[in-house]
A and B are shown apart, each in its own frame.
Chain A
Amino acid sequence: MMLIKIQIIVGLLSMGLLSITFELIRKKKLREEYAILWLFTGIAVLVFSLWPEFFLSQFFVRMTGIFYLSAVVLIAFFFLLLIVFHFSVVISNLTEENKNLAQRYGLLELEFKELRKRSLPSETDTHPPPRSGGAGMTSF
């Protein structure tokens, strides 16, 4: 029957997705916070392949107008959309943090160079140069 074939294909796909996700988490190649949506996607699709009766019922079809296979595709698509959206948020955060890190790096490097320049002559000199850094820097 048509339905059994679809059930098997979808079931295998979801189990494949779930096992890959688990394996990647186990190997620490995927962080849990990014994996959670993938796990949900796999579980949702698996549920559809295990209990197709509900999605075939007149009740469900009448309520939503969605047939079985369309429902699977739709749910999978919805989760993918969520995942992509989640990634956009994550990338935005990373960009901001990356920018802050680069700025901090530049500021610290400059500070370090000036400190080293100031301390170099003191190695040959008996009197170390007066320290003028810190809070009392010149205004403007």
Chain B
Amino acid sequence: MVIIPAYNEEESVGKVVEKVHTLLPQVEVLVINDGSTDLTSEKARGYGATVLDLPFNLGIGGAMQTGYKFAYEKGHDVAIQVDADGQHDPGEIPKLLLALTEKQVDMVIGSRFLGNSEFKSSMGRRLGISVFSKVISTIAGQRITDPTSGFRAASRKAIQLFASDYPQDYPEPEAVVLLHQCRLRMGEVQVGMSERSSGLSSITKIKSVYYMVKVLLAIFVDCFKKPPFLRQEGE
């Protein structure tokens, strides 16, 4: 199934849902409407997605976890998370799925920077992400080139873990640390990403340095957290 967390994305969410539907008609699309004040919910429903409305805004972490809880309870074996702003190309989903089974990992991250991808981005942002990448790679003991990417595929085991415990503040990089702590494996594949088709990045330029420090601090704290116990699912 495909999980699309959306907060006030009425401009783009319909297009994303439509794209996923045409490319992968057999896949269930779940849009998590994170307490939007615009027509996100109606637009997504209009394009044929299953829409889960949260009563108020929980933030990206809480919304994403709701999707994983849904996937876990419905017994889905794979969950793919796609941003609602249209920067992820649903055409790359099969690539993620292939990597998930081929590499025998529990999570595959769609990376903008792996290989010779030509993702255009500002210097500052690229520098910031490279710092994250270095830190996360060191912690995880493997090369993670794009820890902030929200374009991911998760296995049943990862779904189970995220349903019970998912980082709330800066979920993308923190989830990598969490997976590593629980000894789940992850991999990366190169994907192309377009500029967001609408809306603003949640990170503005002025606050980006402050943001970086906060994320690094959160990751640092995560390293000392007790990893959650992952019980074996009954076969």
Residues of chain A touching chain B, judged by Cβ–Cβ distance below 8 Å, are 99, 102-103, 105-107, 109-110, 135, 137-140
Contact = CB atoms under 8 A, between A and B. Distances in A.
A140 B78 contact: yes
Interface in B55-94: 55-56, 58, 62, 65-66, 69-70, 73-78
Contacts of A105: 54-55
Given A135-B75, A140-B76, A140-B77, A102 B27 contact: no
Contacts of B70: 107, 110
Given A102-B55, A103-B54, A110-B52, A139 B75 contact: yes
A107 B51 CA distance: 10
B133 interface: no
A138 B52 CA distance: 18
Contacts of A138: 28
Nearest to A109: B53
Interface of B: 1, 27-28, 32, 50-56, 58, 62, 65-66, 69-70, 73-78, 168
Contacts, number: 47
Contact of B53 (A99, A106, A137): A106
Contacts of B51: 110
Contacts of A135: 75
A103 B53 contact: no
A138 B53 CA distance: 22
A102 B77 contact: no
A106 B58 CA distance: 11
Given A102-B54, A140-B78, 13 more contacts: A103-B58, A105-B54, A106-B52, A106-B53, A107-B52, A109-B52, A109-B53, A110-B51, A110-B70, A135-B75, A138-B28, A139-B77, A140-B27
